[in-house]
Structure 1
Amino acid sequence: MDEAIALRPWRVGDVAAVMEGFGSAEIQRWHVLRIDDEDEARGWVAQWARRWDEEDAASWAIVGEDDEALGQVGLRGINLVEASAGLSYWVVPSARGRGLAGLAVGVIEDWCFGTLGLNRLVLDHSTQNRQSCRVAEKAGYPLEGVLRQSMLHADGWHDAHVHARTRTSG
């Protein structure tokens, strides 16, 4: 059964969730950015207002009924002229296995296609990141192809799956 979730802007009070998320071995494996202390976590939270103003990226906390941050969903590489953006997501270890990332992708997709007027959303991940691939597939993002050695992770270059949806494909 799906949970009720909401998306909201990040707050300074979410630093513990950011630390839990970025402290996770899985997120460290698939995410280039490292956050090693509370000052870095506060900086990560604080950046999103500026990046939204610059129209290049955005990120929201995925929250449950208690308003506790359980993960993030975001837009990267926003291109308003070409009406496209990339999707990103992660869930804190203590909240995994509940379908939260897929639910959040659905919420942000509805807003991007309906309100923001985007035409295309792209989701890419290492071909070795099976969890992210499952989220993409369950959210209705078909695999479009593979980008060879397009992602640098701590263990070297990875091929990436590219999944996408358009406003008219869903």
Structure 2
Amino acid sequence: MEPVDLRSGRVLLDQPGPDDAAAMVAALNRPEIERVLTTPWPYGPEHAEDFIGRHVPEGWRTEREFTWALRAPGSPELAGVIGLRTGRPDVGYWTVPASRGRGLCAEAVRLVADWWFARGGAALAWECVAGNVASLGVARAAGFRFTGAAPSHGPYRDGAHPLSWHGVLDPGPRRRHDGWPV
């Protein structure tokens, strides 16, 4: 499948490119990232180049994972990355510090979910390591329903499955759900 750009009045989702590599390295080497993402640590330029040049195109080609760069419309600056893995299916995301707290990531999740559901996709799963209140806030704002705390579905860098918060987003009208931790 060829990559698809998605947009709203607040965000543009397009393909990450070589010009995004330095911003990825800077964002993914922040100390608060190590504990909450499964990306390599430390995250070097070679990781960004492999992600942008191999992983992202291969995901689209095989339809196993759809990945987008998150940007403000009209800006070339990387605000974050969002991906939808189709096997489970689930969604994951991160943002650069300057883009946090502005609702951009929740808007991006809604765009990706709408695109996925329009294609006939099933409910989307979400998880984050317990205590990652930023990710929880995005999932809640995007309309996910909290389903509980349990070990992570996928392994982290060390092979462990840390205690994680889980949620689901069903096709159909979105609303905020009660029952979230914190």
Q: Tell me the TM-score range normalised by the shorter chain.
A: 0.7 to 0.9
Work out whether residues 146 and 159 of structure 1, in 8 Å CA contact, stay in contact via their aligned partners in 2. Answer: yes
Find the counterpart in structure 1 of residue 18 from structure 2: 12
2:66 is the counterpart of 1:58 = yes
- Provide the alpha-carbon RMSD of the alignment: 2.2
Find the counterpart in structure 1 of residue 180 from structure 2: none
2:33 is the counterpart of 1:27 = yes
What is the deviation of 1:169? 5.4
Work out whether residues 129 and 152 of structure 2, in 8 Å CA contact, stay in contact via their aligned partners in 1. Answer: no
Find the counterpart in structure 1 of residue 116 from structure 2: 112
Residues of 2 paired with 1:6 and 1:154: CA distance? 30
What is the deviation of 1:22? 0.8
The correspondence of residues 138-149 of structure 1 with structure 2, limited to 5 A, is 138-148=141-151
Residues of 1 paired with 2:43 and 2:172: CA distance? 41
In the superposition, the TM-score normalised over structure 2's length comes to 0.80
Work out whether residues 62 and 72 of structure 1, in 8 Å CA contact, stay in contact via their aligned partners in 2. Answer: yes
Runs (4 or more) in structure 1 with deviation over 3 Å come to 148-157
Q: 1:96 to 1:110 in 2, by over 3 A?
A: same
Structure 2 unaligned runs (5+)? 1-7, 175-182
Count of aligned residue pairs for this structure pair: 163
- 1:143 partner SS: strand
Find the counterpart in structure 1 of residue 44 from structure 2: 37
* 1:61 alignment partner AA: A
Report the structure, 1 or 2, having the larger strand content. Answer: 1
Structure 1 unaligned runs (5+)? none
* 1:69 alignment partner AA: L
What is the deviation of 1:36? 2.9
Find the counterpart in structure 1 of residue 3 from structure 2: none
Residues of 1 paired with 2:115 and 2:139: CA distance? 17
In the superposition, the TM-score normalised over structure 1's length comes to 0.85
Q: 1:23 to 1:159 in 2, by over 3 A?
A: same
Residues of 2 paired with 1:62 and 1:29: CA distance? 22
Residues of 1 paired with 2:21 and 2:47: CA distance? 9
What is the deviation of 1:106? 0.9
2:125 is the counterpart of 1:122 = yes
Residues of 2 paired with 1:168 and 1:102: CA distance? 17
- 1:161 partner SS: strand
